[in-house]
Amino acid sequence: MDTAALMVRNIRLSYQDGMIVNDFSLSLQPQELGCLLGPSGCGKSTLLRAIAGFQELDSGEIWLDNELLSTERHRVAPEHRGVGMVFQDIALFPHLTVAENIAFGLTGWSEESQDKRIAELLELIGLTGLNQRYPHELSGGQQQRVALARAMAPKPKLLLLDEPFSGLDTELRGRLASEVRTILKSDGICSLLVTHDQREAFDFADRIAVMHDGHICQFDTPFNLYHEPTSPFVAHFVGPGEMIDARVEGPRSVSSPLGVLTHDADLEFEVGSDVQIFLRPDDLIHDDDSSYQATLVGKHFRGAHHLYEVKLDNGVVLGCFAPSHHNHAIGERIGVSLDIEHLVVFPK
Amino acid sequence: MAITTHHQSVRWAFSRPNGLLLTTLIAALCVALPVLVVVSFVLTGVSDAWSHLLDTLLGRYALNSLLLSVLVAIGVVILGVPAAWIISFYRFKGRGVLSWLLLLPMAYPAYILAYTYTGLLDFSGPVLTFLRDMSAPEWMMDPLLNIRSLPGAALMLSLVLYPYVYLLARAAFMEQSANLMEAAYTLGQSRWRVFTRIVIPMARPAIAAGTLLAIMETLADFGTVQFFGVQTFTTGIVRTYYGFGDTVGAAQLSTLLLGCVFFLVIFEKASRSKVRYYSDRLRKLNQTSVTLTGWRQSVAQILCILPVLFGFLLPTTILSYWALFFAELQSMWSLITNSFFLAGFASIFIVMVALIICYANRLYPSQWLNHTTTFVGLGYALPGVVVAIGVLIPFGALDRLISQALAPFGVQPSLWLSGTLVALVFAYLVRFLTVATGNLTSGLSRVRPSIDQSGRLLGLNQFGVISKLHVPLIRGSVFTAVLVCFVDILKELPATLILRPFDFNTLAVKAYELAGDERLIDASVPSILIVLVGLIPVIWLNRSVTQE
């Protein structure tokens, strides 16, 4: 017996005669907050539309709480799926008030329980007292929170969020992503977010599926995606870093321009084979006391820290984090040292 | 992001009978019918009357149409562009009122303006009598006496058509980013250089589009040129059809006219695509306009009031005066009920067809459907005379077929279609369907796909989405569509004149007949009614434009 809430099995989708997704599978546990992260055009929005029932499947199955929603031949209508959705363009009904928008999906509820649900949700999203406002009287962030409340109101089995924060300004975006996470966690509702913004995904999700060209590269926790990417694409997509050439020296060690580095487990590569290792800026730290010197060739002040680009004597350029007050000039020689707990190794 | 499955909709259209898609196809065929009929006669060869026409009259029709178009083009630019420029770039007393007063001449069909000025400038009329009493010189009175001429017709048409140029130019001026002008100033350019090098070149596509629309209307005009005795393509078509009874010749003349219109449509579309290219939504000019005082203010006011004065205020005053105190007219009520019933029924019918087309596009979007809808949109460019001839020929043929089929049953031959309101409503559908689809599409496009999808996910079925979400959201645009169609039908002269059932009169036809009998004072009653009703959408649309 599978305990998953949402199960997408081997589905194939196409749009305007072009295949978008082929043999795609994904499952979410009850109460889990999942995320599809990928560059635009990777098929993530189409997938979401398929789960919501707006897109026909070419093959495969979609299950929700052990109920079969979609197959090639059969498609439960969107209104009967128990799926809620928050849209990129917010899509509040402009002719209805906040309360009427939230109550829209509560057909069959008594007036009393409707009012109770509206009050409960408005409190959850922190907009108590704005029941009678119209959407155009609210700020962008408020509108998006009302849209969330409207989608949550009928207690759907699954909530889909299609780039819900991309229309908002950067500062609001990060804050709202964590806020929405808190709201959804307190309601225990299984959700799937689609986004191309890595920070938004990290703020929101328990597990993230990184997508590329219609397939999942890796489905893992944010921490693992960042520190243990399984492919060069994932490594580059979820944060900065540099790839450098190396050669396998022993079962756990490689030789590189930075010297011999050791891994905390056995490597899957034969001794003597050429590989690449992936280093993030946090693997290399600036240390004035280090005897290992490198030339500073670029710097980006990030407030709490600097991101330095340093050129090693053998010509390799790497990123390196430095404390905020360590202000060096470009061209200066600075000390760096490695802080690697495990290696990220890819075949060359 | 609105993703919909292209190949699926095509599959749906052909595998299941689908009312929406079928209706759209039929509507496209309806619009195509008159054009196809008219153009098909190109292949039938040259008739005797047509070769006579080629020798004698064709040159005159073409030359007059061309001259008239050129004069109207100059006229609408002279009347429309300065007004748009003043309203957009300067602040002065009365600017707000003038900015919408300048639109009011749109309520006038050109032929009504022609009747009014002819009556006003009659030899024994008030203006010339006054001038004679003042012993005004000949050179002042001559052009006024000769209003019924080609330049006179161009003036009438310019006075009612300049609002196209004014509206589009004003929008273009106002959309221009203030940053661009300021960038030019910081590069050391003078005001005049900025105006000639930045402002005008950027507004040129919009001005061109407005002028081309005015020329299309000029080529389609029948009432004005007919009354002024200027022989153009439209009068030529009617004369060939009725005067010489030559269907082939009329159809071939129509084809020539269609060819001209076709090129205008292409140029107009090209200009419009540039309009979009040049517009910038970042920062609008409004904040930077200059306030005028003293004599400069008076000049601005006068330049803006002149087109309104001659295009609306003066003729309306005179028409109302005549209608209230002098006109003698019986059976006004039957005229009004006829016109309003016809326009009301036809406009509701047209809007219903337009709704079906718009929903077909929304629910089953696809390339071929999109092309079909664009094609249906060309109906508005067809001159009323051409539509009428293009409807009359096939419907007449159908009538003969029906009569033949019914003859064995002892039924008398009759004009089953061509002599009834069916033909007329069909012609209106061809000509005005675009007006309705345009209004509805813009209304429906504001209801984004995500609104529909939210409704579905919150428990509505397709019908519920339409009744609970679309109906309240697009009610306004449906009303506007009906209103604009209603007024256009009320004003339409040539198609109504040619296709109306025997003895069935409308306000426009009555005004035409009375003017033709030189009863210009009596013609004022139907005329002023058309203008007053025509004012409603002009004011309504201006309100919605300024609100946005």
Domains defined for chain A, CATH in brackets: 6-236 (3.40.50.300), 240-347 (2.40.50.140)
Q: What's the pLDDT score for residue B195?
A: 78
* Cβ-based neighbours of A8, under 8 Å, separated by 6 or more: A24, A25, A26, A27, A47, A51, A60, A61, A62, A63
What percentage of chain A carries pLDDT values higher than 70? Answer: 99
User: CB distance B458–A105 less than 8 Å?
Assistant: yes
B window 171-230, beta carbon within 8 A of A = none
Q: What's the pLDDT score for residue A16?
A: 67
Q: Which two tokens stand for residue B269?
A: 């579309």
Partner residues linked to A231 by β-bridges:
none
Name the residue facing B469 among A15, A90, A93 (closest C-beta). A93
Q: Which two tokens stand for residue B170?
A: 């004003």
Residues of chain A with Cβ-Cβ distance to B472 below 8 Å are 95
* Each residue's pLDDT tens digit, A31-63: 999 999 998 878 888 899 899 988 888 899 999
Q: What's the pLDDT score for residue B16?
A: 47
- What band does B277 get if pLDDT is binned at 50, 70 and 90? low
Shortest Cα–Cα distance, A142 to chain B (Å)? 18
Name the residue facing A84 among B7, B457, B472 (closest C-beta). B457
Q: What's the pLDDT score for residue B135?
A: 77
* Each residue's pLDDT tens digit, A102-157: 998 888 899 999 999 999 999 888 899 899 999 889 988 899 889 999 999 989 99
The stretch A216-230 carries a mean pLDDT of 92
Q: Long-range contacts made by residues B366-374, C-beta under 8 angstroms, separation at least 24?
A: B366/B6, B366/B9, B366/B10, B366/B13, B367/B6, B368/B10, B369/B9, B369/B21, B369/B24, B372/B24, B372/B25, B372/B28, B373/B24, B373/B437
Residues of chain B with Cβ-Cβ distance to A104 below 8 Å are 455, 458
The residue in chain B having the minimum alpha-carbon distance to the alpha carbon of residue A105 is: B458
Mean of pLDDT over chain B: 82
State how far the Cα of B334 lies from the Cα of A335, in Å rounded to an integer. 99
Q: What's the pLDDT score for residue B132?
A: 79
State how far the Cα of B506 lies from the Cα of B499, in Å rounded to an integer. 12
State how far the Cα of A57 lies from the Cα of A74, in Å rounded to an integer. 9
Q: What's the pLDDT score for residue B1?
A: 32
State the CB neighbour count (10 A cutoff) for residue B505.
18
Q: What's the pLDDT score for residue B50?
A: 66
Higher pLDDT, A206 or B521: A206
User: CB distance B456–A83 less than 8 Å?
Assistant: no
- Can you tell me which residue has the tokens 């005015």? B214
Q: Which two tokens stand for residue B274?
A: 């540039």
CB A231, CB A243: distance < 8 Å:
no
Q: Are strands B90-91 and B290-291 parallel, antiparallel or unpaired?
A: parallel
Q: What's the pLDDT score for residue A68?
A: 92
Residue B455 in contact with partner chain A when CB distance is under 8 A: yes
φ, ψ at B363 (rounded to 5°)? -85, -35
Give the lowest-confidence range in A8-17, A199-208, B74-83: A8-17
Q: Which two tokens stand for residue B477?
A: 């645009």
* Each residue's pLDDT tens digit, B365-417: 777 887 887 777 777 788 888 899 889 888 888 888 888 888 888 777 777 77
The stretch A161-186 carries a mean pLDDT of 85
Residue A243 above 80 pLDDT? yes
The alpha carbon of residue A284 and the mean position of all alpha carbons in its chain are separated, in whole angstroms, by 25
* Each residue's pLDDT tens digit, A311-341: 888 888 888 888 888 888 899 998 888 888 7
State how far the Cα of A20 lies from the Cα of A22, in Å rounded to an integer. 7
User: CB distance A85–B469 less than 8 Å?
Assistant: no
Residue B260 above 50 pLDDT? yes
Residue B278 above 60 pLDDT? no
Q: What's the pLDDT score for residue B179?
A: 64
User: CB distance B7–A54 less than 8 Å?
Assistant: no
Name the residue facing A56 among B8, B451, B458 (closest C-beta). B8
Residue B286 above 60 pLDDT? no
Shortest Cα–Cα distance, B460 to chain A (Å)? 6
* Each residue's pLDDT tens digit, B23-48: 888 888 888 888 888 888 877 766 66
Residues of chain B with Cβ-Cβ distance to A16 below 8 Å are 5-7
The stretch B277-287 carries a mean pLDDT of 50
Q: Which two tokens stand for residue B2?
A: 């609105």
What percentage of chain B carries pLDDT values higher than 70? Answer: 89
Quote the pTM value.
0.77
State how far the Cα of B518 lies from the Cα of B509, in Å rounded to an integer. 14
Q: What's the pLDDT score for residue B15?
A: 44
Residues of chain B with Cβ-Cβ distance to A150 below 8 Å are 454, 458
Name the residue facing B450 among A14, A78, A87 (closest C-beta). A87
Shortest Cα–Cα distance, A194 to chain B (Å)? 12
3-class DSSP state of B12? helix
Residues of A near B (CB-CB distance < 8 A)? 14-17, 45-46, 49, 52-56, 77-79, 81, 83-85, 87-91, 93-95, 104-105, 107, 150-151, 154, 156
Q: What's the pLDDT score for residue B243?
A: 78
CB B110, CB B160: distance < 8 Å:
yes
Name the residue facing B458 among A14, A87, A104 (closest C-beta). A104
Mean of pLDDT over chain A: 88
The residue in chain B having the minimum alpha-carbon distance to the alpha carbon of residue A149 is: B458
- Amino acid sitting at position B112: I
Q: What's the pLDDT score for residue A29?
A: 93
User: CB distance B469–A83 less than 8 Å?
Assistant: no
State how far the Cα of B109 lies from the Cα of B101, in Å rounded to an integer. 17
Shortest Cα–Cα distance, A272 to chain B (Å)? 49
State how far the Cα of A47 lies from the Cα of A57, in Å rounded to an integer. 10
DSSP secondary structure letter of residue A241: -
User: Which secondary-structure segment (H or E) carries A296?
Assistant: strand A293-301
Shortest Cα–Cα distance, B7 to chain A (Å)? 6
Q: What's the pLDDT score for residue B46?
A: 66
* Cβ-based neighbours of A132, under 8 Å, separated by 6 or more: A97, A98, A99
Angle at A107 between CA A105 and CA A113, to 5 degrees: 95
Q: What's the pLDDT score for residue B110?
A: 92
Residue B5 above 70 pLDDT? no
- Can you tell me which residue has the tokens 């057909």? A107
User: CB distance B8–A104 less than 8 Å?
Assistant: no
- What band does B225 get if pLDDT is binned at 50, 70 and 90? very high
- What band does B283 get if pLDDT is binned at 50, 70 and 90? very low
Name the residue facing A16 among B6, B453, B472 (closest C-beta). B6
User: CB distance B3–A53 less than 8 Å?
Assistant: no
User: CB distance A79–B459 less than 8 Å?
Assistant: yes
- Can you tell me which residue has the tokens 């889909």? A160
Shortest Cα–Cα distance, A127 to chain B (Å)? 21
* Each residue's pLDDT tens digit, B93-127: 888 889 889 989 988 999 999 999 998 887 777 77
User: CB distance A87–B8 less than 8 Å?
Assistant: no
- Amino acid sitting at position A123: E
Q: What's the pLDDT score for residue B184?
A: 67
